[in-house]
Amino acid sequence: MENFTFYSPTKFVFGKGTESEAGALVKSFGGSNVLVHYGGGSVIRSGLLDRVKASLEAAGVKYTLLGGVKPNPRSGLVYEGIDLCRANGIDYILAVGGGSVIDSSKAIACGVLYDGDFWDFYCGKPIEKALPVGTVLTIAAAGSEGSGDSVITKEEGMYKRGAGSEFLRPKFSIMNPELTETLPPYQTACGITDIMAHLYERYLTNSRDVEVTDRMIEALLLTMKNEAPKVIADPSDYQARANIMWAGTMAHNNSCGVGRSQDWNSHNIEHELSALYDCAHGAGLAVTMPAVFRYVMSHDEARFAQVAQRVWGVSSAAEGIDAFQAFLKSIGMPSTLGELGGREEDIPVLVKNLCYGDGRTGTISGFVTLDEKDCAEIYKMMI
Ligand code: NZQ
Ligand code: ZN
């Protein structure tokens, strides 16, 4: 196990009805003038936004609304949010929605306190300060409610980049599994896939003697394997949704990733798919992961065989990948590039954005270092 520091100060408030605590929580973290940021309308239709507004009003917290975050959140709305915060003296950002809303909120939070272009942070500039962010989560997926990460799509060029900083970790996250019952089954499945991807990206490590985190990841993967079919069969299964929601946070707040090298090649390769085709991130991962895993399997077949045996109940590395892909299909996820709207002739653009975009020098690295030829080969395998 390698040396590490783990600091995860988000306060999680979990369970039925907890959105009513939003106002008091904002106030307890020093917020008095809030930007309430949300997406394309699901929180209006479900009545959640009204309940959050009532909670802020009851706590005597002033607020300004900014909706319209699209899945795979865009840079344009971030600039708009930054201007709005400055014009209104906003001191706190409350994200009400999924990973896209939370990530857009985080981008606004660091951009408001910075004189330059917020995009600098998504090209590697370290973040030194940000407005505090709180969240009311509506989908178990990205794990952004407990992570210090944010992923934004640059509209000029349609490519995705991430920024990471302890300053972006939410101060609090309200997690009511009931709020996820209004999700379309496809979005529920996309979230399940993303959670499992966050576990696999950490499982694929070159570090040795990481028994405790290996076992934690396997436990979470088994939980997902067991709970996902329940929630697909019965969207109102509260207990299954609760287990999946907490697994999603544990999968990505890095408690399972400490002391070990991690992969993230599947995420990097997928991000160009969701940026170019505007597909759901989880659906892109369902297509990407099996291709990447098959391509890099020979690097450490024993590691793939271990997860195959302990999670999927099959003996070989290859059978484990097949079982994972079959599971993803069984919950309604795609398995080919064509199902995402992708075409073979786009591969050079995908590879260029991935390997050379924003100053990258031709490779991506994780479990294995991949150059442009490797990445092109992996995209081809998805056809
Ligand atoms: O916009 P609305 O109307 O709210 O609809 C959303 C959206 O269409 C809908 N939805 C969310 N909660 C709902 C609901 N519909 C009905 N009922 C509910 N309760 O679901 C759609 C997808 O929402 P989105 O926020 O995009 O989903 P997700 O949480 O999967 O976020 C995906 C984004 O997170 C990034 C991805 O790249 C992608 O841009 N990621 C962020 C990470 C992080 N910050 O740590 C890590 C991840 O690996 C990921 O890359
Ligand atoms: Zn992800």
| Residue 157: predicted pLDDT | 83
pLDDT, position 120: 97
Q: Give the pLDDT score at 357.
A: 82
Q: Would you place residue 7 in the very low, low, confident or very high pLDDT band (cuts 50, 70, 90)?
A: very high
Q: Is the pLDDT of residue 184 over 80?
A: yes
**Mean pLDDT, residues 334-342:** 97
| CA–CA dist 240, 233 (Å, integer) | 11
**Cα dist. 129→105, 147, 253, 308 in Å?**
14, 16, 20, 42
Domain residue ranges of the chain, discontinuous segments joined by +: 11-179, 182-381
End-to-end C-alpha distance for the chain, whole angstroms? 38
Strands 159-164 and 149-154, by their bridges, are: antiparallel
Q: How far apart are CA 181 and CA 188, in angstroms?
A: 9
The two structure tokens encoding residue 120: 């600098």
Three-state SS at 170? coil
Identify the pLDDT of residue 159: 86
For atom 8 of ligand 1, the residue with the nearest CA is 71
| Residue 165 CB less than 6 A away from ligand 1 | no
Spacing, Cα 271 to ligand 1 middle (Å) = 14
Distance 39 CA to ligand 1 centre (A): 9
> For the segment 141-183, what is each residue's pLDDT rounded down to a tens digit?
999 999 999 999 999 888 889 999 999 999 999 999 999 999 9
- The CATH number corresponding to 182-381 among 2.60.40.1250, 1.20.1090.10, 3.40.50.620, 3.30.420.40 equals 1.20.1090.10
Which residues partner with 137 through β-bridges?
97, 175
Give me the mean pLDDT over the 189-208 stretch: 98
Question: How many angstroms separate the CA atoms of 104 and 112, rounded?
Answer: 12
Average pLDDT over residues 5-26: 97
Q: Whose CA is nearest to atom 49 of ligand 1?
A: 142
Contacts of 228 (CB under 8 A, 6+ apart): 189, 192, 240, 244, 327, 331
Is residue 281 lining ligand 1, measured as CB closer than 6 Å?
A: yes
CATH label, 11-179, candidates 3.40.50.2000, 3.40.1400.10, 3.40.190.80, 3.40.50.1970: 3.40.50.1970
Ligand 1 close to Cβ of residue 191 (< 6 A): yes
Mutate to test the pocket of ligand 1, among 151, 181, 250, 340 (most ligand atoms within 8 A of CB): 151
Please work out whether the CB of residue 270 comes within 6 Å of at least one atom of ligand 1. no
pLDDT on residue 282: 98
Over residues 216-225, mean pLDDT: 98
Question: What local confidence, expressed as pLDDT, does residue 340 receive?
Answer: 97
Mean predicted confidence (pLDDT) in 63-86: 97
- Identify whether the C-beta of residue 69 lies closer than 8 Å to the C-beta of residue 37: yes
In a mutational test of the pocket of ligand 1, which residue from 281, 289, 333, 340 has the highest number of ligand atoms less than 8 Å from its CB? 281
Mean pLDDT of 224-242: 98
Arithmetic mean of pLDDT, 40-44: 97
Are domains 11-179 and 182-381 of this chain identical in fold? Answer: no
What is the pLDDT of the chain when averaged over all its residues?
97
H or E element, residue 151: strand 149-154
Above 90 in pLDDT, residue 358?
no
* Per-residue pLDDT, 359: 80
Tokens of 136: 């009311």
pLDDT for position 158: 83
pLDDT number for residue 47: 98
pLDDT in tens, 77-108: 999 999 999 999 999 999 999 999 999 999 99
Ligand 1, residues 103, 253, 254, 279: which to mutate, most atoms within 8 A of Cβ?
A: 103
- The ligand minimizing its distance to the Cα of 71 is 1
Q: How far apart are CA 185 and CA 93, in angstroms?
A: 29
